[in-house]
């Protein structure tokens, strides 16, 4: 069991134990208390971190910048288009140079192998701000939100509707690890990443969580404590793929009728940004069941906890 993250990378839930996931979630909730009580927590004063975003971001980038400011960390924002890496400099050279200047790297990029390569070449910690495979800082914020709203993990049921991609994979791993039943509603033909599915099923066997992929949206919604909406397509997909996915996901829209099929006290979650009128209606987003802005705020507390835990 390893509760000490100091100096380590934070790359993916698939690499983390149940104890580690719970440790960071609880630490995030502690940091939220400090924020609410306005207790100063400049624990990392003097550190300087690099933030490299190869994709757009509203929540992750700003949550990281604010979390860092509260911890006393200066952030240097790196624009990929201004760096030599976009002119072909190898990642292993870029990573080793950044490692000489900064106390750590927060990175949002494309393939998961990119963050793994950064972690390999850097001695200082690397935090994954989203790859094609996982979105672990989102996962911790989601767990904080579930704990706040439902008070527990084990025995809950989540209905997930949306594209099978990074957020789905992180969600699959945390549900399987913590004993949350997960019913993923998606059209025929969509298959999750094989290795993530394998890891999910292995963990579900240990926790007793029931994990299923179904085309039956009503079945997925039945008895759900959490209805999780996710974009039907992802950044970087072609116009053709997007059109196909929009059509295929049409029957899986989370609207007021769908919410009625879940438990009456079910909460609606979404990592945002949402496409109102596509995967979810405006009515559901604005309803009392929606916890999306608490979830969004929790991005900051969770990133702060992750940063505090891994920083040297």
Smaller CB separation from ligand CP, 209 or 230: 230
Cβ proximity to ligand CP, 251 vs 273, nearer residue: 273
Query: In this chain, which of 272, 278, 289, 294 binds ligand CP, going by CB under 6 A?
Result: 272
Considering only 11, 21, 50, 59, the residue that binds ligand CP (CB under 6 A) is: 59
Stretch of 55-63, 119-127, 218-226, 281-289 contacting ligand CP, by CB under 6 A? 55-63
Of the pair 207, 234, the CB lying nearest ligand CP is at 234
Per-residue binder mask for ligand CP (CB under 6 A), 118-137, x = binder:
------------x-------
Using CB under 6 A as the binding rule, whether residue 94 contacts ligand CP is answered as no
Is 60 an interacting residue with respect to ligand CP (CB under 6 A)? yes
Q: Please state, in angstroms and rounded to a whole number, the distance separating the CA atoms of residues 13 and 21.
A: 7
Query: Which position among 21, 127, 271, 305 is part of the footprint of ligand CP (CB under 6 A)?
Result: 271
If one asks whether residue 300 binds ligand CP (CB under 6 A), the answer comes out as no
Minimum distance from residue 18 beta carbon to ligand CP (Å): 24
* Min dist. Cβ of residue 88 to ligand CP (A): 27
Size of the site for ligand CP (CB under 6 A): 9
Q: Closer to ligand CP at the Cβ: 183 or 302?
A: 302
Site string for ligand CP, 131-170 (x = CB under 6 A): -------x--------------------------------
Binds ligand CP by CB under 6 A, chosen from 58, 86, 255, 312: 58
SS (H, E, C) the chain: CCCCCCCCCECCHHHCCHHHHHHHHHHHHHHHHHHHCCCCCCCCCCCEEEEEECCCCCHHHHHHHHHHHHHCCEEEEECHHHCHHHHCCCHHHHHHHHHHHCCEEEEECCCHHHHHHHHHHCCCCEEECCCCCCCHHHHHHHHHHHHHHHCCCCCCEEEEECCCCHHHHHHHHHHHHHCCEEEEECCCCCCCCHHHHHHHHHHHHHHCCCEEEECCHHHHHCCCCEEEECCCCCCCCCHHHHHHHHHHHHHHCECHHHHHHCCCCCEEEECCCCCECCCECHHHHCCCCECHHHHHHHHHHHHHHHHHHHCC
- Give the residues lining the site for ligand CP (CB under 6 A): 57-60, 130, 138, 271-273
């Amino acid at each position: 069991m390893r509760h000490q993250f100091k100096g380590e990378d934070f790359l993916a839930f698939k690499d983390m134990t149940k104890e580690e996931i719970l440790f960071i979630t609880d630490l995030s909730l502690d940091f939220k208390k400090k924020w609410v009580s306005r207790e100063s927590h400049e624990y990392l004063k003097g550190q300087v971190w690099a933030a490299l975003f190869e994709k757009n971001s509203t929540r992750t980038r700003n949550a990281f910048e604010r979390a860092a400011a509260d911890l006393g960390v200066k952030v240097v924002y790196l624009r990929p288009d201004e760096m030599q890496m976009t002119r072909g400099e190898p990642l292993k050279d870029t990573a080793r140079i950044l490692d000489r200047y900064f106390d750590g790297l927060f990175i949002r990029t494309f393939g998961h192998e990119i963050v793994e390569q950064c972690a390999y070449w850097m001695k200082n910690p690397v935090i994954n701000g989203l790859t094609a495979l996982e979105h672990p800082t989102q996962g911790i914020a989601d767990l904080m939100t579930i704990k706040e709203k439902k008070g527990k993990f084990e025995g809950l049921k989540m209905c997930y509707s949306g594209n099978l991609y990074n957020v789905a994979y992180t969600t699959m791993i945390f549900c399987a690890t913590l004993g949350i039943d997960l019913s993923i509603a998606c059209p025929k033909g969509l298959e999750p990443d094989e290795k993530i599915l394998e890891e999910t099923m292995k963990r579900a066997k240990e926790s007793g969580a029931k994990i299923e992929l179904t085309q039956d949206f009503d079945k997925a919604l039945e008895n759900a404590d959490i209805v999780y909406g996710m974009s039907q397509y992802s950044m970087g997909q072609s116009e053709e793929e997007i059109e196909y996915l929009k059509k295929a996901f049409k029957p899986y829209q989370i609207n007021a009728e769908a919410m009625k099929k879940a438990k009456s006290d079910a909460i609606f979650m979404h990592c945002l940004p949402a496409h109102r009128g596509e995967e979810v209606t405006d009515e559901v987003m604005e309803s009392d069941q929606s916890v999306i802005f608490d979830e969004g705020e929790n991005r900051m507390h969770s990133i702060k906890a992750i940063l505090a835990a891994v920083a040297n």
